[in-house]
Amino acid sequence: MRNKTLTAIFALFLGIFGVHRFYLGQVGLGVLYLLFFWTSIPFWLGIIDALVFFGMSEEEFDVRYNNIRGSHYHRSYSPNQRQRPGHQRYDKDVDPNQYKTHETSERRQQSTINRPPRPAGKTRRSSTVKPSNSDDKKEGIKYFKAFNYDEAIKHFEKALEIDPNDIAVHFNLGCACSLTEQKEKAFVHIHKAVELGFNDYERIHTHESLAFMRIQPEYVAFKDADYKTLPEMVQKEKATPSDDETIAPDHISPPLLDTAQEDTILKEIKRLENLKELGVLNDEEFQEQKAKIERPR
């Protein structure tokens, strides 16, 4: 279990390097702190984070970062407190829905007694009720707010099985996948939400849950296309070979690259050179990544 005081100390003294974010398992945010440690921004953010953690209660910290649910709310009444008419006292061991069910049944019975008889020959028109994904959607949002993103993803995916065109579920699922560093799925669901009509691009630019997706190298092209075209990397992940497709043996020479492929390779090499100049990659890592890019596909 993560310790609140230790987290605050990390934020205060090592916040410029994002150590407290790595300690909390927020690798994406930790990487952002490292990338900008040479500026004063991570230092001041670390100070702010430390103050927040010092002022946070142990229960709130456990709910946020240790996935431990807080104690259930329990309303206590004094023995001399007068209850309002019709008011029921709830206890944590009593299901409040039983009172609601009883009250609803009683009202339904009264409405049925006072309802005039239906004219003869007329029958109630049958209606087709479409299945609703609201239960799984609500469960997904509940787990998302409790920082249990794995369970939230499961419920959001169940909601999409019922209604594959739910814009809100696609957006929320994209946020949850970004927070769990599943970048391919994050790209796919944000793209699907925009494809179905989501047009609040500013929310995609600034939403803190999508920070990990925004630091990916494919994000720039994704953003320039107004999120309507998936990055080439994601398209390759989605494309799976059929059973009748065969892989060419190693001794067969690969086809020559076309101009578009050559341009892509040159851009990737240029990007690696920039990372090397910034000190993100050393010589060995640069050569290794360059060899992967130049390898025939």
Tell me the fold of 134-238: 1.25.40
Residue with tokens 């009748």: 244
| Contact assessment for residue 178 and residue 209, using Cβ atoms and an 8 Å cutoff | yes
Alpha-carbon span 89 to 75, nearest angstrom: 8
Alpha-carbon span 256 to 207, nearest angstrom: 42
Residue 261 has a pLDDT of 61
Residue ranges of domains in the chain:
4-65, 134-238, 260-294
Alpha-carbon span 186 to 179, nearest angstrom: 9
Residue 129 has a pLDDT of 57
Alpha-carbon span 108 to 121, nearest angstrom: 24
Q: Does 291 score more than 70 pLDDT? A: yes
- Secondary structure (3-state) at 120: coil
Tokens found for residue 220: 């720039």
Closest CA to 153 of 178, 118, 121: 178
Q: Does 78 score more than 90 pLDDT? A: no
Give the model's confidence band at 81: pLDDT under 50 very low, under 70 low, under 90 confident, else very high.
Answer: very low
Say what the pTM is: 0.39
Instruction: Give the percent of the chain with pLDDT over 90.
Output: 15
Alpha-carbon span 213 to 122, nearest angstrom: 58
- Mean pLDDT, rounded, of the chain: 75
Q: Enter the DSSP assignment of 83.
A: P
| Angle separating helix axes 27-35 and 41-55, nearest 10 degrees | 140
The per-residue pLDDT for range 4-42, each reduced to its tens digit, is: 898 888 888 887 788 888 888 888 888 888 888 788 888
Greatest CA span in the chain, whole angstroms? Answer: 90
Give the model's confidence band at 82: pLDDT under 50 very low, under 70 low, under 90 confident, else very high.
Answer: very low
Q: Does 2 score more than 50 pLDDT? A: yes
DSSP letter for each residue of 150-210:
HHHHHHHHHHHHH-TT-HHHHHHHHHHHHHTT-HHHHHHHHHHHHHTT---HHHHHH-GGG
The per-residue pLDDT for range 235-275, each reduced to its tens digit, is: 666 555 444 444 434 443 344 444 556 667 777 878 878 77
Alpha-carbon span 34 to 47, nearest angstrom: 15
The per-residue pLDDT for range 187-233, each reduced to its tens digit, is: 999 999 999 999 898 899 889 899 988 888 888 888 888 888 887 76
CA end-to-end span of the chain: 44
Count other Cβ atoms within 10 Å, centred on residue 54: 14
Q: Does 171 score more than 90 pLDDT? A: yes
Region 82-98: mean pLDDT is 48
